[in-house]
Chain A
């Protein structure tokens, strides 16, 4: 945030929502990053993710009934991969917040949210497909965009495309 610029209302709302979560879960969540473009916090205790998400969905002051987006990201410098979730209280309270989670780059896994939001099912399949993060508790974790027998996960920064696929030359 630049000095002298007022914090916008939507960021204030997100910060208020964060405080409710932080009161309940304490050290399980990181400090709040109140930037203007996408205010977020990180869930440090990834094992409690489903519990935190359920709280976010059902608490009377939060009511994040819609998961607008769930996507992955690669952080090779930290040797981590992660997900970014954008939540919104659609047609209820109107506030938004983004949540980040990180896990190990090789063999990392995170709890699945498909038990709380139907939409998480396909989003998590996509992240699994493109980043290789496995989601524990996901009912149907298969690749969704790439073919089932594709090698590697394309959105990782060090991804090398395979030489041939069923006898067809891949790189051009």
Chain B
């Protein structure tokens, strides 16, 4: 062993000969290697490129390169009328179009100081929560695939298909709805919609447990996520994190509760945070658990919406929609709790035009992804895949 002490910096290669360690090589240079992950890589969930500097299997730095899907949404907005922006917002986070429309419609309604019919509010929350479940199903399913579990993905997409069917029935489109308009809705929901949604809720409730057992009862899944990519609460806030990411770090913060909008104050639901019994607070597993728990909370909200919704008698979903949308001069920053976090809209109106002077979408994925550099430092390459999956990015919203 004495020989080992004389070794200077760098790695050594040793062998054992008759109980003695013999140094074969010393001062081995460990060379940094650049590994480009993406933009065409299945685990980056779209066209994200990560430039990784690696030392062996260990990542010393991972720099995200964005913009492959950039179409300058904000410039498009400056060239069209307020109602024509709604279809663009669908294409931000295309897995939860209803939620994005909802957030945008609320922002403009604040500028207009509009009163919204109660039934419209209930339908909006109903479809937004349905969409939240569909979005979390994709997040959970693809996360399983990232970590080598194929079955949960099929289960998730089977159930998501029912939600997409329901939303298609209401709006006419599967993913890009253009359903929630400024001041109202495109149409009322179909006559038997409530009945079918209730059937779905009853069908889906046991499935959440099944899905949960399928992943968190899986030893490999736990080993790949437990204690990986830990983000302390304070750093998460400093990074501007929101949504399931922030709650995964143990901060009980949900805009539906803490900055309530629409009819959420009337509804009873819990803000899901990990309890730290099965996971380390702030790790990948915590973030996964938050999404799983949130689906059950969304089911609760949907049931309450169905119970409390005013009847469709004499209801016109377009009654509050202004003929001409021209807000008075001013600015608004309005936000909503989307499946991926806080989606904020900053809109500036000059009071004369029917087009916004400036319309900015504050994207939750963009902000959540910005912590990648700190999250990935010192992790192994396979863990990097687990971390990206747990952030649950949608590149349509990151690149805008």
Contacts and interface: CB of A to CB of B under 8 A. Distances in A.
Contacts of A146: 67, 70
Contacts of B371: 118
B111 A37 contact: yes
A153 B179 CA distance: 33
Interface stretch (B92-100, B186-194, B290-298, B328-336): B328-336
A71 B240 contact: no
Interface in A79-131: 84, 86, 90-91, 94, 98, 117-119, 121-123, 126, 130
A98 B331 CA distance: 11
A162 to B, nearest CB: 14
Interface in A127-172: 130, 143-147, 154-155, 159
A12 interface: no
A19 B70 CA distance: 40
Q: Which of A38, A40, A91, A147 has the most CB of B within 10 A?
A: A38
B252 A73 contact: no
Contacts of B342: 68
B331 A144 contact: no
Contact of B240 (A68, A126, A145): A68
Nearest to B65: A144
Interface residues of A, number: 34
A122 to B, nearest CB: 4
Given A69-B362, A86-B333, A130 B238 contact: no
Given A147-B67, A154-B72, A155-B75, A37 B344 contact: no
A65 interface: yes
A170 to B, nearest CB: 12
B351 to A, nearest CB: 13
A39 to B, nearest CB: 10
Contacts of A40: 331
Nearest to A57: B238
B49 to A, nearest CB: 12
Given A71-B346, A73-B348, A73-B358, A90 B237 contact: yes
Interface in A31-81: 35, 37-38, 40, 65-69, 71, 73-74
Nearest to A144: B66
Interface string B180-207: 0000000000000000000000000000
A14 to B, nearest CB: 12
Interface string B55-87: 000000000001100101011000000000000
Interface of B: 66-67, 70, 72, 74-75, 110-111, 234-235, 237-240, 251-253, 258, 330-335, 342, 344, 346, 348, 357-358, 360, 362, 366-367, 370-371, 374, 399-400
